[in-house]
Structure 1
Amino acid sequence: MEDLFRAYWWLMFPMAWFVISGFSSWLNYRKQRETLKLLKTYADKGQEPPESLLRVLDKPIDADSGGPGRPANYWSLFGLFAVLAGGFGIAAYMPETFGVDIGVRFPFTVVALVMGAVSVWALISAMTTRRDRS
């Protein structure tokens, strides 16, 4: 069992993301459900619900979790992927410095190139995206 954890320790990060995203979606679902119950109460009394209550239902259910309605910060993505590309590039061409097997040179080079390409995309997106000044 210890060897299994040692070989697949990195799976904790995607699994944590999966659990946190699921919990966030569940909380957003509960918020929408409670809003609908409150609207039903207003309808049963024959009253007009407040505008702010109706606006809660206008947003998509995943709006608070960084979904399509939230603008991306391309500058931070550029910085992140540039650092990752540089790190993998250095590890690919100086593996003995990091105590890494020399056989990882090709895979690390591929990862560095992919990270570099994503970094260039983020830079172009950051330079061409207009942000609201609100």
Structure 2
Amino acid sequence: MEDLFRSYWWLLFPLGFFVFGAWDRWLAYKRSQAQLDLLRAYTTQGKDPPPELIKAVREDDFGDDDDYGWRERRRYMRRRYRSPYWALRTALVTGAVALGFWLASEYAGPAVDFWPFRLVAIILTCVAAGHAVVALLSYSLRGR
């Protein structure tokens, strides 16, 4: 059992990212639920909700981070994620990292076990292929 933790210590990082990502999504859910409850309270009283609340619900942003321009940056990044260029760039970068892991699995020294490198290379190759398919589809369906 001790060897298991010594060999797979690096799995703590993806598990930590998963836990913190789930926590972030839970907090976002609770924030949107509170916004909708506040809107529901205004409508049951027959009052008009304040425009700031409606704007916050629409933009899915409840903080006043206008001082730093986060709202505009998020809009820009949303548009950028939808572009075919972004999907193609992600496919190329992920493919380059996968190629690095393939090379590491092939040229690992005799003292190094190669199968973890090969496993990561297979997973990253599948992710790169998925992004390449999304890029090709977004290029072909762009005009519709």
Root mean square deviation of aligned Cα: 3.9
The secondary structure found in structure 1 opposite 2:95 is helix
TM-score computed with the length of structure 1 as normaliser = 0.60
Gaps of 5+ in 2: 61-73, 75-80
Could you tell me which residue of structure 1 aligns to residue 71 of structure 2? none
Within 5 A, what are the aligned runs for 1:34-45? 34-45=34-45
- How far off is 1:16 after superposition? 1.2
Q: Tell me by how many angstroms 1:85 deviates.
A: 2.0
Q: Secondary structure at the match of 1:49?
A: coil
- Cα offset, 1:76, TM superposition: 4.0
Superposed displacement of residue 12, structure 1: 1.0
CA distance 1:10–1:50, shift in 2 (3 Å): same
Cα distance in 2 for partners of 1:119, 1:46 equals: 52
Question: 2:101: which partner in 1?
Answer: 88
Task: Determine the C-alpha separation between the residues in 1 that align with 2:31 and 2:15.
Answer: 24
- Between the aligned partners of 2:123 and 2:54, the Cα distance in structure 1 is 45
Which residue is equivalent to 1:26?
A: 26
Distance 1:58 1:90 in 2: 45
- Distance change >3 Å, CA 12–CA 71, structure 1 → 2: farther
1:1-134 aligned at under 5 Å gives the runs: 3-50=3-50, 53=54, 56=57, 71=82, 73-96=86-109, 100-101=112-113, 104=114, 108-109=117-118, 112=121, 115-129=124-138
Q: What displacement does 1:108 show? A: 4.6
Give me the whole-angstrom Cα distance separating, in 1, the residues matched to 2:93 and 2:27.
Answer: 29
1:18 is paired with a residue of what secondary structure? Answer: helix
Q: CA deviation at 1:53?
A: 1.9
* TM-score, normalised via structure 2 length: 0.57
- Shift of the 41–3 alpha-carbon distance from structure 1 to 2, 3 Å rule, reads same
Measured in 1, the distance between the counterparts of 2:17 and 2:133 equals 27
Q: In the aligned structure 2, how far is the partner of 1:109 from the partner of 1:4?
A: 19
Aligned residues: 119
> After the TM superposition, which of the residue ranges 40-49 and 22-31 deviates more from structure 2?
40-49
Which one-letter code corresponds to 1:25 in the other structure?
R
Unmatched runs of 5 consecutive residues or more in structure 1: 65-69
Are the structure 2 counterparts of residues 92 and 41 from structure 1 closer, same or farther at C-alpha, using a change threshold of 3 Å?
Answer: closer
Letter matched to residue 123 of structure 1: A
Q: Percent identity?
A: 31
